[in-house]
């Protein structure tokens, strides 16, 4: 109970009123999405003509989202998110698709550091998305896997979530502590649901427990104990926030240096999207053939959609990586 309360305070804000927020410990973010999907598939009214509750997830998204929500019994659909022609957010496409989604659909949003693109809406865009979702009576499902790991400021990384809650959305939130607390192997997360009353919270908690009991019964204790220990000790909390800032600023510096070295090597591509993105990944725009060549010729490993982990870059290898990227992209397009 102490861990869940601290985790919810971390997401919703230390001063947030959590009296109507139902929260449970989950098996990291994956487990939280699975529980949340199961809950929504059972209790959200299906739009007319639908056999299952539709959930709209961004294109692209974390690959596991599709399997998770399919297995939870939802009708997985996509909305436009990233424009490969510009290597930027496809905001107009996103808005159009959310408008066209049947009223009362579930909309999955990445709380910060969108995976795989690292491209987040601006705060003004978030506000417009919130307004549209409210107009359409959609249900909001936030997946927060990188709070504190995105900008280095856990409070800023929660801005979108907190705005939606302040606007009256009864959000569902999946939290993972895998990346931001270094607990990937400990499967530490939470699922929470913002409810309209104490009675509703009690009913939701009862249903979540009924879902969890036959699924995994009880969560592991070690990772949650680490989170609890850090967030209940003022000195450790301060150190944690300092570490996040240091880590995020280092990754941002690698973004800038990678682009600078590419320019010095003579690359004529516009790589500005790399420095504009946020989080541990860069969605480069490179094709699968380019990615294969990076791996086979230069032993640089990345996913075939062009997403590369910037956390693996340092002053000792960045020139080698930049030279390899330049070699496989020179004279070829990095936009669709």
Catalytic sites, residue numbers: 62, 143, 179
Residues 6 or more apart whose CB falls under 8 angstroms from that of 142 comprise: 108, 109, 110, 111, 160, 161, 164, 171, 172, 173, 174
Query: What DSSP state is assigned to residue 236?
Result: H
β-sheet bridge partners, residue 107:
56, 140
**How open is the CA angle 112-10-137, to the nearest 5 degrees?**
55
> Residue 57 in contact with residue 70, Cβ under 8 Å?
no
Cα 200 to Cα 105, 149, 196, 205, distances in angstroms: 20, 33, 6, 9
Residues 6 or more apart whose CB falls under 8 angstroms from that of 220 comprise: 27, 186, 187, 188
State the Cα–Cα distance between residues 91 and 121, nearest whole angstrom: 8
Structure tokens at 101: 């989604």
Give the count of beta carbons closer than 10 Å to the beta carbon of residue 90. Answer: 20
Residues 6 or more apart whose CB falls under 8 angstroms from that of 17 comprise: none
> Residue 123 in contact with residue 159, Cβ under 8 Å?
yes
Give the count of beta carbons closer than 10 Å to the beta carbon of residue 135. Answer: 11
State the Cα–Cα distance between residues 120 and 145, nearest whole angstrom: 14
Give the SS3 label for residue 71. helix
Give the SS3 label for residue 191. strand
State the Cα–Cα distance between residues 76 and 41, nearest whole angstrom: 11
């Amino acid at each position: 109970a102490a861990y869940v309360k601290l985790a919810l305070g971390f997401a919703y804000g230390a001063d947030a009123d959590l009296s109507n927020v139902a929260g449970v410990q989950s098996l990291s973010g994956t487990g939280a999405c699975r529980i949340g999907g199961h809950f929504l598939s059972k209790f959200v009214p299906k739009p007319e003509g639908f056999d299952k509750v539709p959930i709209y997830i961004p294109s692209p998204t974390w690959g596991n989202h599709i399997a998770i929500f399919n297995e939870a019994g939802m009708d997985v659909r996509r909305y436009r998110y990233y424009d490969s022609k510009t290597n930027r957010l496809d905001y107009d496409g996103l808005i159009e698709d959310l408008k066209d989604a049947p009223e009362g659909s579930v909309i999955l949003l990445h709380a910060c550091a969108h995976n795989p693109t690292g491209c987040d809406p601006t705060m003004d865009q978030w506000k417009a998305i919130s307004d549209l979702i409210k107009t359409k009576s959609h249900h909001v499902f936030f997946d927060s896997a990188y709070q504190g790991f995105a900008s280095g400021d856990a409070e800023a990384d929660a801005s979108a979530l907190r705005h939606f809650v302040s606007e009256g959305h009864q959000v569902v939130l999946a939290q993972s502590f895998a990346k931001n607390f270094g607990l990937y192997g400990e499967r530490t997360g939470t699922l929470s649901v913002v409810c309209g009353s104490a009675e509703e919270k009690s009913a939701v908690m009862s249903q979540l427990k009924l879902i969890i009991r036959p699924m995994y019964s009880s969560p592991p204790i070690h990772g949650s104990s680490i989170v609890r220990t850090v967030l209940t000790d003022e000195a450790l909390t301060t150190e944690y926030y300092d570490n996040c800032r240091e880590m995020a600023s280092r990754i941002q510096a690698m973004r800038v240096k990678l682009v600078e070295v590419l320019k010095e090597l003579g690359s004529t591509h516009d790589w500005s999207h790399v420095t504009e993105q946020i989080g541990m990944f860069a969605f480069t725009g490179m094709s699968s053939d380019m990615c294969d060549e990076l791996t086979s010729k230069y032993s640089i490993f990345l996913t075939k959609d062009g997403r590369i982990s910037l956390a693996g870059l340092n002053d000792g290898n960045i020139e080698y990586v930049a030279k390899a990227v330049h070699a496989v992209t020179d004279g070829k397009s990095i936009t669709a």
